[in-house]
Each structure stands twice: as C-alpha cells, then as structure tokens.
Amino acid sequence: MKLCLIIPTLNEENNIRKIYKKILNTKIKLDILFVDDNSTDKTRSIIKNLSSKNKNVKFIFRNNKKGIGSAHKDAIKYAYKKNYSLIITMDADGTHDPKYFNSMIKKAYQYDYVITSRFKRLNLIEDWPIERKIITYTRHILIKLFLGLSYDASGAYRCFMTNKIPLKMFSQSKNNDYAFFWEITYLIKLQKYSIYELPVKLVYRKLGKSKMQFKHIISSFFYLLKMFFERKFLK
C-alpha cells in the first residue's frame, strides 16, 4: 500500500526537521509531500536538502500564497494522480503528533474519512493560550449551529483511503483557505460517507508563528454564513 503524507508549509524552518524526525521514528513506510507557499525563510532549502537525502521526500513549491485549503487540494490531486492508496494530512507546526498515524490508518480501513478531534475528551488542548481556545471552541459551536455538523471539523489532521472517496469530492469545496477543512467535512457528510473522529492531544506550537490571522477568522465566518443561507434557503 502506497501512503502519502501531505504537509503544507509557510515559513516553518524551525519545525521541518523536528517533525521529519518524528515521522521517521514511526517506522511507517510512506512518502512525505511538502507543499510550500513561497516561504521567505529557509523552509524550502531544508525541504530540498531532505529530499536530496531521502527519495521518499517530495515537494510542490508554489509561487504565491494561495491558501491552506488550496495547498491541500493541489497535494491531494497529486496523490491521486500518483496512485497513492492512503493519504494523511497534517500541519507542519508541531501540533500534530505522528504517534497517531497507526490509529488513523487502522480506522481508515473501517471508515471512509478519519478526522481528529480536540473535543472528544477533556484537556486535549490544555496548554493552548486562552484566546486560541476561545476561537477554537467558538468556531466549533458556530459550525454545529449553522451546518448541523457536530464533528471537530476545522482541524487539518486527517486520513482516508483514495479508493473510498473520489477526487472530485475535494474539488467541490470552493474555499481555498481555512474554511476548506469544515467545508469538505460537511460535503463528505452530505454524501453519507462514514466519518470517524479520533481523539488526539494537540500541543500548542513551540516555534514559529501561527499563520492564522484575524482576516482569516472573519473570512471564514462570512463563508460559514453563506453556506448556512444556501443550506437553509437554496436546497
């Protein structure tokens, strides 16, 4: 079985090698696909160096900042084109621990789409700053309220088999930024694919800065409102 691990990057020079070592420590045979959106630090040179030493490290370098959702779409399209059997997506900031890979892969055999959850158990984000906790919980509540989606739908740590979900599903998501994650979860649920939530503990990033800005939060909120009205009145 061919496994593809997708990791979008943007100025993550302090985290790339750390997450790479953790991935290797899992002893799981997979290819790592980095998708970089024009990083201005040493991220790209580090990725190139890793790729020169390990043929299983691939990369897509994009010239502009096209959004985290767009990065996932391009990488997923690449994985389908290269006939990977299973795809895992994760962040590059160190919050997603590769130790959950085996559990995610196991559940991917049983379910169509595996997502991770910060809300299935207590204290899964206990070290996060209070403002990030407020944003995360508020977003979760609003998505549940407006779309009837009870899953932790906004996280990027996911896993699925390519023979269970067709590539065209992902092109149905119109958002190219952070709203992509809950939009695609919503669309997959609408098509009645089975979804499993795996509880995972997420540590807050120790190095580098979060790429989420206030404009992303506002944009996602209005996109959520748009989807709500379409769901409510344009069925």
pTM: 0.92
Residue 170, amino acid: F
* Dist CA 23 CA 33 (whole Å): 12
Predicted confidence (pLDDT) at residue 160 exceeds the cutoff of 80: yes
Q: Indicate which CATH number applies to the domain containing 39.
A: 3.90.550.10
Are 96 and 124 in contact, with CB atoms under 8 Å apart?
Answer: no
16-37 pLDDT, tens per residue?
999 999 999 999 999 999 999 9
Work out how many domains the chain is built from and give that number.
1
User: From residue 51, how far is each of 54, 59, 77, 80, 90 by CA, in Å?
Assistant: 5, 8, 20, 21, 18
Percent of the chain with pLDDT over 90: 77
The residue assigned the tokens 């997959």 is 188
Write out the residue range of the structural domain in which residue 115 sits: 3-233
170-190 pLDDT, tens per residue?
999 999 999 999 999 999 999
